Amino acid sequence: MDGPSLKQLAVDGEATRSNAIYSLPGKHNRIATRRPRTTVNDLPHDVLLIILSDVWRATLRPFDSADMHGLTDPELDHLAPYHSRLSPLSQHSVEHIASVSPHWLEAMSNSSEFWTQLGIWTGRDATPLSMVRRYLVWSQDKPVSIHVWRRYDPCVEDRTEKAHAKAIVELLVPHMKRLKLLCMYLLHSSSLPLPHTDLVGRAENLEQLKLEFIFDDAVACPAPLPPSERTFDTPALVELSMGGVHFREAYVAPVPRPLLPPELRYITITDYASDQVPFPVVDLLETLTDPDDCQRLYNRRVNLTNLQLDIYPDADPPRLNDRGTDWYFTDMSGDVIAHYSSLLHHPFVETLSYTRCTLPTYDTPSVCESYYLTLEGIPDSATLGYYIAGSQVSIHDCDGFNSEFLHALAKPFSPGTYGGDESWLCPNLEMLSISGCKRLHSSELRAALEARRRRHEATGFAWLDEMGYVLLSVTHLYVRHCGELAAEDRQWFDKNMEDVQWDDWHGGTGP
């Protein structure tokens, strides 16, 4: 049975502050006075704070868990409905507890622990600036996490948003050294603050900075930008997410160019239109890659989404150090990706991901090779064949994973394609995970993997860098939501794979 709500506890407390008089049944019809009850509002402030603190911590547990996961493996789905991207914190705001009763608000305002994670709303029913000031005062000297959200609204224009966001940022700047997280999700990119211009000071505790939007209407300034005496120092920053114009203005165009924060591990750059000021691929890479003498203890993850960058084939940049960077491309041009690969001299990287990327419009060598490779939403076999170069490959919702692609996977290239050596598509492929590829037939997949295994067997199962190596055979196969598995194909997979799973069936020769 559910207990009383927070609102009911407060209502009961207010209602029983005075005694109620009622009639007793019976012939004497005596009048009695109800004995007053002790309610939550009668508790001393210190006891009430203990109870409210437990309630507050309970509401924050889902947020803390999601936030911790976000730092280790952030997934930013830019196509998701805007309101679905809001943090769970927005559903468990401290305001919801404090607004139950003035008595509760008075008690909570004297304890800074309640005001270290603040939600500020823009748009309709916006959070008053006076309330934001009070929140910041009540947080005292504690590190604070700030979320600025726009309430869900079908309106696609808000002429007051920029001024409101500017006023909020001006309130935050004096507290910059206390910020641990600043996430702003607004309607217009032009409403967001610009690091080194609007966001200034030493934010020594800031770990996450997300400046995200629905409509990209920010306008880039011609380069180079003049030097500025205003700086935004973020030595502890781990995660950075912003639009292409903001990233260019803050980290690429200024002269001298500011260095990226030393602890930065996750970078997401979204949207840069072709009608903006030219933004060369080489300039972006020079900013994102490290100097040769820089040594990082961890991989950096870079997400590039819908950036219409400029290509200068004659660019001759200094040697770019791409060591320890995992690249995730979404809605990117094949020409841009090919130029990126060329500028980095086609390095081997640990992790690559391509989502809805296109085929280059000109002849170009294959892209970088990786150990982990993810391909998603690739529409045709030619594009899929161009990008597939990895050892452990995951393919999701790709119409290009079809008969034509599997036939290409099952045989070597024509002799002489690469200096006369026998070459196969994705020769280092060992693990293949496939989901949502509706044009897949189990017989064609088995035929392709069987042909590759026979060729590998003919070399004595030669491994990489061993004499006679040509290709590896696939030993691990995982298939979900791709159609039926024929009985004869199941038998072959069960006998020749170390581990295989097709929907609910599991087999293979491994333990």
State whether 117 and 221 are in the same domain.
Answer: yes
**What does the alpha-carbon distance between residue 374 and residue 363 come to, in Å, rounded to a whole number?**
23
**What does the alpha-carbon distance between residue 195 and residue 201 come to, in Å, rounded to a whole number?**
10
Give the range with max mean pLDDT: 91-95, 116-120, 143-147: 143-147
Asked whether the beta carbons of 501 and 493 are under 8 A apart, the reply is no
Q: Domain end: 313, 329, 358, which one?
A: 358
pLDDT reported for residue 98: 61
State whether 254 and 288 are in the same domain.
Answer: no
pLDDT reported for residue 290: 72
User: Does the structure show a pLDDT above 90 at 13?
Assistant: no
User: Does the structure show a pLDDT above 50 at 78?
Assistant: no
Residue ranges of alpha helices (H) inside 304-417 are: 334-343, 381-387, 403-409
In a domain, 222, yes or no: yes
pLDDT reported for residue 207: 96
Q: Domain end: 222, 251, 271, which one?
A: 271
Query: Residue 481: which residues within 8 A CB-CB, separation 6 or more?
Result: 435, 436, 503
Q: Closest Cα partner for 368 from 329, 392, 342?
A: 342
**What does the alpha-carbon distance between residue 284 and residue 218 come to, in Å, rounded to a whole number?**
18
**pLDDT, tens digit (0-9, with 9 covering 90-100), for 211-258:** 999 999 999 988 677 766 778 999 999 999 999 999 999 999 988 888
pLDDT band, very low/low/confident/very high, at 158 (cuts 50, 70, 90): confident
Q: Take residue 446 and report the two structure tokens written for it.
A: 């088995």
In a domain, 363, yes or no: no
**What does the alpha-carbon distance between residue 428 and residue 434 come to, in Å, rounded to a whole number?**
17
Query: Residue 312: which residues within 8 A CB-CB, separation 6 or more?
Result: 280, 281, 282
In a domain, 169, yes or no: yes
Cα 275 to the center of its chain, rounded Å: 27
Long-range contacts of 230-233 (CB under 8 A, 24+ apart): 230/196, 230/197, 230/200, 231/196, 231/200, 231/201, 231/258, 232/195, 232/196, 232/199, 232/200, 232/201, 232/203, 233/201, 233/202, 233/203, 233/204
Q: Domain end: 271, 303, 329, which one?
A: 271
Looking at the chain, the whole-number percentage of residues with pLDDT higher than 70 is: 72
Asked whether the beta carbons of 266 and 239 are under 8 A apart, the reply is yes
The stretch 322-328 carries a mean pLDDT of: 85
State whether 236 and 340 are in the same domain.
Answer: no
**pLDDT, tens digit (0-9, with 9 covering 90-100), for 446-499:** 999 999 999 999 999 999 888 989 999 999 999 999 999 999 999 999 999 999
State whether 14 and 33 are in the same domain.
Answer: yes
pLDDT band, very low/low/confident/very high, at 19 (cuts 50, 70, 90): very low
In a domain, 456, yes or no: yes
**pLDDT, tens digit (0-9, with 9 covering 90-100), for 406-441:** 999 999 976 644 444 788 999 999 999 999 999 999
pLDDT reported for residue 344: 84
State whether 140 and 238 are in the same domain.
Answer: yes
Mean predicted lDDT score pLDDT of the chain: 82
pLDDT reported for residue 18: 47
The stretch 58-78 carries a mean pLDDT of: 42
State whether 341 and 395 are in the same domain.
Answer: no
Asked whether the beta carbons of 500 and 507 are under 8 A apart, the reply is yes
Q: Closest Cα partner for 281 from 236, 326, 329?
A: 329
**pLDDT, tens digit (0-9, with 9 covering 90-100), for 98-138:** 656 666 666 665 666 667 788 898 988 888 999 899 889 88
State whether 193 and 303 are in the same domain.
Answer: no
Containing H/E element for 187? Answer: strand 179-188
**What does the alpha-carbon distance between residue 57 and residue 117 come to, in Å, rounded to a whole number?**
12
Residue ranges of alpha helices (H) inside 18-128 are: 45-72, 94-98, 102-108
Cis before 224? omega within 30: yes
Q: How many domains does the chain have?
A: 4
Q: Which residue has the higher pLDDT, 386 or 100?
A: 386
In a domain, 252, yes or no: yes
pLDDT band, very low/low/confident/very high, at 301 (cuts 50, 70, 90): very high
User: Does the structure show a pLDDT above 70 at 73?
Assistant: no
In a domain, 303, yes or no: yes
pLDDT reported for residue 229: 74
**Packing angle between helix 487-496 and helix 442-458, nearest 10 degrees?**
30
State whether 250 and 290 are in the same domain.
Answer: no
State whether 384 and 511 are in the same domain.
Answer: yes
The stretch 301-317 carries a mean pLDDT of: 87
Cα 329 to the center of its chain, rounded Å: 13
**What does the alpha-carbon distance between residue 314 and residue 335 come to, in Å, rounded to a whole number?**
14
**What does the alpha-carbon distance between residue 132 and residue 129 come to, in Å, rounded to a whole number?**
5
In a domain, 226, yes or no: yes
In a domain, 231, yes or no: yes
Of the candidate ranges 85-89, 250-254, 314-318, the one whose mean pLDDT is the lowest = 85-89
State which residues form the domain around 132.
Answer: 44-271
Classify burial at 174, counting beta carbons within 10 Å of its beta carbon; exposed 0-12, middle 13-18, buried 19 or more: exposed
Of the candidate ranges 10-14, 154-158, 238-242, the one whose mean pLDDT is the lowest = 10-14
pLDDT band, very low/low/confident/very high, at 81 (cuts 50, 70, 90): very low
pLDDT reported for residue 96: 62
pTM for the structure as a whole: 0.82
Q: Closest Cα partner for 83 from 239, 210, 212?
A: 212
State whether 195 and 112 are in the same domain.
Answer: yes
Is 305 strand, coil or helix?
strand
State whether 453 and 489 are in the same domain.
Answer: yes
Of the candidate ranges 36-40, 153-157, 305-309, 485-489, the one whose mean pLDDT is the lowest = 36-40
Neighbours of 101 (CB within 10 A): 20
State whether 144 and 229 are in the same domain.
Answer: yes
